[in-house]
Structure 1
Amino acid sequence: MVLKGEFMLVLQKARFVKLVLAVHLITAFFFFAVPEATATGVETWHERANGSGIVYFEIAYGNGNYVVSGQSSIIYSDDCTNWTAGTVPHSDNFVDVDFDGVTFWAAGYLDATLLNSSDGESWTLVSTGDAADHEHYNAVVQGGGTVVTGGGETLTYEGGLFYSTNAGVDFTPVYPSDLDVIDDVIFVDGSFVAGGDFFDGTGPTDKIYLSDDGISWNEVLTGFGTHIQALAYGDDLIVAVGQGGIISSSDGLVWTQTWTGTELYGVAWGNGIFVAVGLTGTVLSSVDGITWTPQTSGTTYHLRDVGFGDDTFFAVGQNDWTDDLYVILQSDRIGLFEDGFESGNTSGWSSSVGE
């Protein structure tokens, strides 16, 4: 026979066990159910390098190295802190660098120079073009066996797209019109997307260019005066940034303006997060490409480009358009609920502007 007092004791123990289980279930729910994107890691940025003498334009990551392209120089680092000059066989203003999953590609603006490298350290001259033939390269990408470059001069609006089917040795020009400037090209799910603008007689107007093979292209007018500078793709969304703000599209055909404000020059996607950078240290982040949140970069330098790799975002900037002071920034590790790492500590952790 169970006495009344004993029964109450058993009941209290049962309730206590249920309470403990409930607490554990709630804790587990919040730990596992909260998306990593809510703890982005882009709220805190660390200065990894600064100096003078070189203007740096673009940044990329691949094969264990961070690579930054610049004026007559390309530098690389395996920790985003200690940088070494790569071996470059031809001098040019390398305004773009891209990693296709296997190889780095660098595009030169002055001589339409194209370089490639497996590690960002030693570079090979692939080809040079004819600047008089509008081949002022602003961007390069490789996809599906085709290398595509985009270029043009902002002052004259003479440029276009160029494609190569023999690994960048020979290029064929594709001029959407004599008034186009291409500032960025990306390879998305087997297709190419290029962004730029054209002069319609009254001012620059945005244009998007779409191609399945890099040879035949379709033009899309966005309807916005964004003056597209850079493109990124993630979570089935294309995001374009520029001097007029940010626009986005799920198919490349219909575009929506999602943010207006400070001039933006670079955008990247990684671990479910978009990051855009621009004038006077501007950093914006978004988990959906639609709603953007300002972040504190800790610098007033103009951030030219942002990239993603090794679970962190990294950006390169210039103090003023007329000087050669530069800075390289890196965010905390993405997806952590605590600070990723302190400045200078990279242990334990595993992207344009034309002329």
Structure 2
Amino acid sequence: MKTRLFLYNLFVTVLMMSAMSMAGPSVASALDDSVLAGSVLGMKWQETALPDSLIWNSVAYGNGRFVAVAGTATDIYATSVDGRTWTQRTLPATANWRSVVFGNGVFVATGWNSNIAATSIDGITWTQQTLPETKFWWSLSFSNGLFTLGAANNLNTIYTSTDAITWTQRSMPAFQQWTGTAYGNGLFVALGDNLSGSNISATSTDGITWTQQTLPAKAHWQGIAFGNGIFIATAQMGQIARSMDGITWELVTPPTIAGWKEVRFGNGSFVVSSTGTNRSALFSADGYSWVEMGTPPYDYWGALAYGGGIFVMMPYNSALSYAAYLQVVL
């Protein structure tokens, strides 16, 4: 059966980006509904194939290549140099692969409910590694030279590493499911979550000693990114928050409500993916004024990565065999 990958080409001029930054939250409402439904600012769609129908949990970019891992008790993963043509490959172990990131010249993939990890310089040849514990490893992040690893076991600890081989346990200021970490303006920021939602975050200047902070709403905070001097945090209950310093946050109003999953920054822009049936993605230069981009007419977009001038978004649904990619040209 033919599988599909949708290509978004988003062509934005510097003038348009400046106008979006100054226009405030109403900028999205000024766009024609038909534009939002199918394309935004010249977005175009094309199709190509993914190698298999899996729950593609995570995607990362490094050394000229995208790497995507899947979470259905498999050793299958996929790579692409351009986001269009994907090649199926094999990891060194079978696992529910939850996360993959790139940092310090190496790809790192970690398994869910496992102590299995794998590392690779080129995204092709992998070495199996052993994590310090068997846990429901939920989040793996890299920023400012440091990998951070958090579990879904509602813990007051995370692990950090500079090489993804030797990990050191760090104390956190609260029992949380630590869902993601970003670095900017001299500060690491980690998001907290639990079964009923959370308004807890933590900050650190060195990734070792952490201080509890407060987010602007109780929610299932999932994604965090830093760019253009600001932090953006996203939640599966529809919230988006913005901060200049990682400590004081404000909620911003997106043009629609969805289960916001991941946020990535690249080429001067933030892009947010969503899970569920809303079928939306968001685009912003300043994290305050957001434009809704219609996604392909399918549900449960999740994993998101930026590299080589494009954003790649993967399906969080085992019935789907396609991905999407978005190019921003300034």
Q: What is the aligned partner in structure 1 of residue 322 from structure 2?
A: 327
List per-residue Cα deviations over 1:109-159 (Å, max 9, x = no partner).
22143322112112222322433xxx3222223455543211214xxx346
Q: Secondary structure at the match of 1:327?
A: coil
Q: How many residues align?
A: 292
Maintained 8 Å contact 2:260/2:272: yes
Maintained 8 Å contact 1:301/1:327: no
Q: Measured at CA, do residues 47 and 151 of structure 1 come closer, stay the same or move farther in structure 2, by a change above 3 Å? A: farther
Give 1:38 deviation, angstroms. Answer: 6.9
Give 1:101 deviation, angstroms. Answer: 5.3
Give 1:228 deviation, angstroms. Answer: 0.8
List per-residue Cα deviations over 1:172-227 (Å, max 9, x = no partner).
2534333x10111234355422212246xxx3212222122221111111130231
Matching of residue 81 in structure 1 with residue 84 in structure 2: yes
Q: What is the aligned partner in structure 1 of residue 44 from structure 2?
A: 44
Maintained 8 Å contact 1:286/1:293: yes
Q: Measured at CA, do residues 326 and 59 of structure 1 come closer, stay the same or move farther in structure 2, by a change above 3 Å? A: same
Which of the two has higher C-alpha Rg?
1
Q: What is the aligned partner in structure 2 of residue 62 from structure 1?
A: 62
The structure 2 residue matched to 1:195, chosen from 191, 195, 206, is 191
Listed as ranges, the matches of 1:1-355 within 5 Å are 34=15, 43-50=43-50, 52-71=52-71, 72=74, 73-100=76-103, 102-131=105-134, 135-143=135-143, 146-153=146-153, 157-158=154-155, 160-164=157-161, 167-178=164-175, 180-188=176-184, 191-198=187-194, 203-244=196-237, 245-259=239-253, 261-279=257-275, 280=277, 281-319=279-317, 323-331=318-326, 333-335=327-329
Where does the alignment leave 5 or more consecutive residues of structure 2 unmatched?
Answer: 1-11, 21-39
Maintained 8 Å contact 2:51/2:86: no
CA–CA distance in 1 between the matches of 2:143 and 2:15? Answer: 35
Q: Secondary structure at the match of 2:232?
A: strand
Q: Which amino acid is 2:314 matched to?
A: V
Query: Over aligned residue pairs, what C-alpha RMSD do you find?
Result: 2.8
CA–CA distance in 2 between the matches of 1:287 and 1:151? Answer: 31
Maintained 8 Å contact 1:312/1:330: yes
Q: Secondary structure at the match of 1:136?
A: strand
Q: Which amino acid is 2:218 matched to?
A: G
Q: Measured at CA, do residues 105 and 114 of structure 1 come closer, stay the same or move farther in structure 2, by a change above 3 Å? A: same
Q: What's the TM-score once normalised by structure 2's chain length?
A: 0.78
CA–CA distance in 2 between the matches of 1:168 and 1:187? Answer: 21
Q: Which amino acid is 1:164 matched to?
A: S
Where does the alignment leave 5 or more consecutive residues of structure 1 unmatched?
Answer: 1-30, 337-355
CA–CA distance in 1 between the matches of 2:18 and 2:115? Answer: 39
Q: Measured at CA, do residues 238 and 70 of structure 1 come closer, stay the same or move farther in structure 2, by a change above 3 Å? A: same
Q: What's the TM-score once normalised by structure 1's chain length?
A: 0.73
